[in-house]
Structure 1
Amino acid sequence: MRLSELAYETISPDPQIDGLTADSRAVSRGFLFAALEGVKSDGADFIPQAEENGAAAILARPGVRSTLPVIEDPEPRRRLAQMAARFYPRQPEVVAGITGTNGKTSTARFAAQLWTLLGYEAGSMGTLGAQSRVYERPLAHTTPEPVTLHETLDAMARAGVTHLAMEASSHALAQHRPDAVNFRVAAFTNITQDHLDYHASFDDYFAAKGRLFSQLLTTSGTAAINMDGEGAQGVVEIARARNLPTIQTGVKGRDVKLLSCKPHLGGLALEIECNGYVYRADPPLIGAFQAENALLAAGIVIAAGAKPYDVMLQLDNLEGAPGRMEYITEVWGGGVYVDYAHTPDAVATALAAIRAHAPGKVIAIIGAGGDRDRTKRPLMGEAAAKYADTVIVADDNPRTEDPAAIRAELMKGCPDAKNIGDRAEAIATGVAMLSEGDVLLILGKGHEAGQQVGDEIFPFDDASVARDAASDRMKELG
């Protein structure tokens, strides 16, 4: 593809472009290098390296100099997204973007499952990677940078995926990564405190998520909104300002309304009103909040054109996402679960939800990631202390911070918690405390298979460690 085709402007000279990247180390001969300004470094400083590696052109903000043809744009991140979409032109016919603080992964997986059950070739993209029956790819970020994003969309479409539910993180939306995705549906779960290490304020955080509805959703698209989630009314107002139709879900929902949710040992007994009819469903999902995610997923699928009757009849068949209120094993009549909750609201929601499935006591293991929003740590501790009978504070992914200092900040909110830095030891301690009817909920890492200490990532999987601890405990008990 010629640079002029890629940039949609007349350029001379007009070199052939064989690839795109924002990483100067990944530049090969014939590539366009996007010199983006980052938090810690400026891509313009790496233009000489890109030139040396054989770059054919540069994308940069105005005023950046190079011996190569330069595409100037005051918003080069958005321009890169547009170029990536032209370089990798295929997308699934229906793409639903899902944003919110909590519940994005489960909602995306549920929507993909519903579409699949209805006979479509469907997939999801997000924290767990890009997945479908015909395509799978791990991803480094919830919402990849534009080149990887559109390369993946193109590959999924070529593989036959027609319906895709993808997570749209606030970082990605602020950085224009998904700006060239053809969103037919935009969905909102909720908004609570998170990522204030990146966003200047909570209002800035909400504005980033709001871009999915105010700027990226097509004018013929539909917004699906969990009306029980914090911030829902603000999203309704954004949609109303653009005259976009909405599908509103949840207890406060208008279109897919939750009439009742009764947790039991095997899942959730739901009663739902939709399109004038009342439906009953009993999906094997743990945690009443999963009803919000399931109904929002149903709203997404209906917004994309499916008949409400057909969607409602498939809710029984939903399966939980890995690391999201996932049942792991039983120990002496007690159950062990893992969940990805890593914000104050998510911790409170997960623990309150698991309580309904626990006739006995609730034991929680919490931790917090290093080099991330520090203000939420004592709030996470408070949430755990409020909703659990026993709290164990352990290391999560300390990264470059002092693990003991992170734990101390968490314990400001739960001063009576057990402080056990070694995560494996903490899990073994929690398992050893279980008796009949008790629940151990290991929070924070969910599906993750590694623990980052400093700049290294060591193999660590909460589920595997819990299974080993349970096995050892049962041997001890004979």
Structure 2
Amino acid sequence: MRLSEILHLIPSPTAQLAYDPDIYSVAINSRTVQKQTLFFALKGTHLNGADYIPQALTNGADAIISETPISEITHSFPDDFPILYLANAKHLLALAASQLAGPQPTSIAAITGTNGKSSTAEFLRQLWSLQGKNAASLGTLGLITNANIPPPPSLTTPDSISLANTLALLAKNNVQHVALEASSHGLEQHRLDGVKITAAGFSNLTRDHLDYHKTIEAYRNAKTRLFADLLPHTGIAAINADMDPQTVRDLTHIAANRGIKLRSVGKRGTSLRLIHHQPTPSGQTITLALNGEELAPIDLPLPGLFQAENALLAAAMCWENDNTAYDVLKLLPSLTGVRGRCERAVELSNGATAYVDYAHTPDALEHVLASLRPHTTGRLIVVFGAGGDRDRGKRPLMGDVASKMADIAIITDDNPRSEDPTLIRAEIKAACPDAIEIADRRAAIAAGLDALQAGDILVVAGKGHEQGQTVGQTVLPFDDRQVLRELAGVA
């Protein structure tokens, strides 16, 4: 593919190229550059790709797109070497990566939201698979598929090059249905701009990532890009109608302006309304109305209202037209739980149970505690913390949730990173003064287990599927599920 052809992927003035090389790959890491590579020198939060242009040239780059104006680059270039300035090179990168990687799966659903992205994506993959379709999910839990292909980097939304290559590999392996998580970072950084999305879902929006986005409005705007810019007007759009009213209004407005038919789910949903949910020993029984018509109760083998909401959002993204909606809903009893999401890790001989959940925001913690409360005949105990180098404002909010909703709260460390963990715990405890403070996470989990009496439930929140504890720059092996099972003697 010629450089001029790549430049024509965006509506910009045609560059005058003295040399128009063939381009076979794109790169954002100068170490991966080779001959016939177009190097994108992007501006990051901590690094500037322009500083790595000399290494890209040494490794054989045939052209460079820079987000830094050429006049600010001090390095000299060979005569006629094509180096171009583009303020938003990330958008072109995503389009170029997609073109070079090759065809993508025919059905690609993207799910955004503060909480529930992983579960919704995995439930959607399961629903497709239950219909006999080759499917995959991609996000925080990695790549889940029966196809034998290498996983992309461990990010909620991989960089646009890795994402394009993974989607092309899935298509080559006859996986034509993919559900992927769309993080606010990924959307704002244009990583999904080259993805041919056919369906979009929005689970909820609560406080998170304000260390990056600064305001809730900017955070919301980043996420609504999925509906405003990336989903074609003919695509499937589904939202949880029970999330904050402002996000619902914004999405409704976007859909109306673009002529998108919006499917809404939840207690306020019009497409799929949750009329009633009743906890059961194995999950819950839910009663739904499909487009206003009440259906027979459905046994959903997943505990918690938030899991029902995620399953309904997945279902609404799954059916292609309303005539097949009921066939999809009949598959809900066959869903299985998602790793690290309200996952029952241990059941003791006295009937007490311990769950692991990824909840690391105030809203997520509130949801998992509220959802498990009906399943206990005794006390609700929670072990939790908050991450370092992240939004500090949510720490007292999480402490307040634990103080109000748990009978016993144990504050511990959860990925302190470069911060002093003592100060993190203090910021949480300011809103949860009666909590027990145990710095060592294993010891905190042990204390939670020791406190369990008949009918009690323990929730270990924050890590979910994660298998490490980040202290400084070091990731120490740590798996909440494994620790629980070891301490309970069932590992």
Same fold (TM over 0.5): yes
1:360 CA drift (Å)? 0.7
Q: Distance in 2 between matches of 1:90 and 1:379?
A: 45
Q: 1:83 pairs with 64, 82, 96, which one? A: 96
AA matched with 1:279: A
Q: 1:353 pairs with 352, 361, 371, which one? A: 371
Residue 489 of structure 2 aligns to a residue whose secondary structure is helix
Residue 47 of structure 1 aligns to a residue whose secondary structure is helix
User: Contact 2:152–2:162 (CA<8 Å) still a contact in 1?
Assistant: no
Q: What are the equivalent positions in structure 2 for 1:292-303 lying under 5 Å apart?
A: 292-303=309-320
AA matched with 2:319: I
| Residue 264 (str. 1) matches residue 270 (str. 2) | no
Q: Tell me the equivalent position of 1:187.
A: 201
Q: Distance in 2 between matches of 1:303 and 1:242?
A: 19
Q: Tell me the equivalent position of 1:50.
A: 56
Q: Tell me the equivalent position of 1:15.
A: 21
Deviation >3 Å, runs of 4+: 9-12, 303-306
Residue 220 of structure 1 aligns to a residue whose secondary structure is coil
Deviations 1:88-121 (A, max 9, x none): 1221101111111011111111111111111211
Q: Distance in 2 between matches of 1:346 and 1:39?
A: 27
AA matched with 1:470: A
Deviations 1:243-294 (A, max 9, x none): 1101111111111111111112210101111143513211210211111111
Q: Tell me the equivalent position of 1:159.
A: 173
Residue 33 of structure 1 aligns to a residue whose secondary structure is strand
Q: Distance in 2 between matches of 1:303 and 1:60?
A: 41
Residue 172 of structure 1 aligns to a residue whose secondary structure is helix
AA matched with 2:300: P
User: Contact 1:399–1:455 (CA<8 Å) still a contact in 2?
Assistant: yes
Q: Tell me the equivalent position of 1:178.
A: 192
| Residue 24 (str. 1) matches residue 30 (str. 2) | yes
Q: What are the equivalent positions in structure 2 for 1:184-223 lying under 5 Å apart?
A: 184-223=198-237
Q: What are the equivalent positions in structure 2 for 1:113-124 lying under 5 Å apart?
A: 113-124=126-137
Residue 409 of structure 1 aligns to a residue whose secondary structure is helix
1:304 CA drift (Å)? 6.9
AA matched with 1:78: H
User: Contact 1:342–1:368 (CA<8 Å) still a contact in 2?
Assistant: yes
1:17 CA drift (Å)? 2.4
Q: Tell me the equivalent position of 1:362.
A: 380
User: Contact 2:272–2:290 (CA<8 Å) still a contact in 1?
Assistant: yes
Residue 197 of structure 1 aligns to a residue whose secondary structure is helix
Q: Distance in 2 between matches of 1:454 and 1:175?
A: 26
Q: 1:74 pairs with 78, 87, 90, which one? A: 87
User: Contact 2:50–2:68 (CA<8 Å) still a contact in 1?
Assistant: no
Change (3 A) 1:234 1:135: farther
1:306 CA drift (Å)? 7.3
User: Contact 2:301–2:335 (CA<8 Å) still a contact in 1?
Assistant: yes
Q: Distance in 2 between matches of 1:118 and 1:272?
A: 21
Matched residues, number: 473
Deviations 1:293-321 (A, max 9, x none): 11111100025787112101101001111
Residue 204 of structure 2 aligns to a residue whose secondary structure is coil
Q: 2:362 pairs with 336, 341, 344, which one? A: 344
User: Contact 1:118–1:310 (CA<8 Å) still a contact in 2?
Assistant: no
Q: Tell me the equivalent position of 1:6.
A: 6
AA matched with 1:6: I
User: Contact 1:222–1:245 (CA<8 Å) still a contact in 2?
Assistant: yes
Q: Distance in 1 between matches of 2:345 and 2:256?
A: 43
Q: Distance in 1 between matches of 2:389 and 2:120?
A: 27
User: Contact 1:135–1:156 (CA<8 Å) still a contact in 2?
Assistant: no
Q: Distance in 1 between matches of 2:459 and 2:32?
A: 41
Q: What are the equivalent positions in structure 2 for 1:372-411 lying under 5 Å apart?
A: 372-411=390-429
Q: Distance in 2 between matches of 1:277 and 1:422?
A: 50
1:57 CA drift (Å)? 1.3
Q: Distance in 2 between matches of 1:411 and 1:357?
A: 27
1:219 CA drift (Å)? 2.0
Residue 428 of structure 1 aligns to a residue whose secondary structure is helix
Residue 307 of structure 1 aligns to a residue whose secondary structure is helix
Normalization by structure 2: what TM-score?
0.93
Residue 378 of structure 2 aligns to a residue whose secondary structure is coil
Q: Distance in 1 between matches of 2:255 and 2:233?
A: 10
CA RMSD of aligned residues (A): 1.7
**Structure 2 spans left out of the alignment, 5+ residues:** 9-13
AA matched with 1:381: G
Residue 457 of structure 1 aligns to a residue whose secondary structure is strand
Q: Distance in 2 between matches of 1:280 and 1:118?
A: 21
Q: Distance in 2 between matches of 1:362 and 1:261?
A: 20
Q: Tell me the equivalent position of 1:226.
A: 240
User: Contact 2:388–2:424 (CA<8 Å) still a contact in 1?
Assistant: yes
Residue 423 of structure 2 aligns to a residue whose secondary structure is helix
| Residue 418 (str. 1) matches residue 424 (str. 2) | no
